[in-house]
Amino acid sequence: MNNLEKEAKQFMKWKNISTITATEYQRSACKTAIFPKELGVQYLALGLTGEAGEVANKVKKLIRDGGDTPDKRKEIGKELGDVCWYLAVLAEELGSNLGKIMEDNLDKLEDRRARGVLGGSGDNR
């Protein structure tokens, strides 16, 4: 990384902007994954829902205790990061690319929007 790239990266940090791709994130997250391989999908799905529960619990406490502050929002963001980690590693364990999953999901939602069926229910509407 040259000096210009380092300065650009530092600027992005100051501005709270990231350019990491889903694929890069998935690749990096998998380097820190430790779990029993024979129960990988189950372990990671439980972890994902556990971390989503941590997000919900922190939001719940904002409702109960008030005091919606930048620090509390930052703490919720950290839990969202934990959700991302489990999501990325679970996608890997399922043999999927996280970026492709994200694109397919956006395509599905855009199709629903175009057909006027964003509201309502049903996985395959």
Q: What single letter denotes the amino acid at residue 44?
A: L
State yes or no: residue 75 binds Mg ion (CB under 5 A): no
Of the pair 45, 82, the CB lying nearest Mg ion is at 82
Nearer to Mg ion, 61 or 82 (CB): 82
How far apart, in whole angstroms, are the C-alpha atoms of residue 30 and residue 91? 10
Of 35, 45, 52, 54, the one binding Mg ion by CB under 5 A: 54
- Contact criterion met (CB below 8 Å) for 92 and 26: yes
Tokens of 107: 């395509």
Q: Are 43 and 86 in contact (CB under 8 A)?
A: no
Nearest residue relative to Mg ion (C-beta): 82
User: Using an 8 Å Cβ cutoff, are 25 and 82 in contact?
Assistant: no
Residue closer to Mg ion (CB basis): 15 or 74: 74
Among positions 59, 61, 72, 82, the unique one binding Mg ion when judged by CB under 5 A: 82
- How many CB atoms sit inside 10 A of residue 1's CB? 7
At its nearest, how many Å lie between Mg ion and the CB of residue 45? 15
Residues that bind Mg ion (CB under 5 A): 51, 54, 79, 82
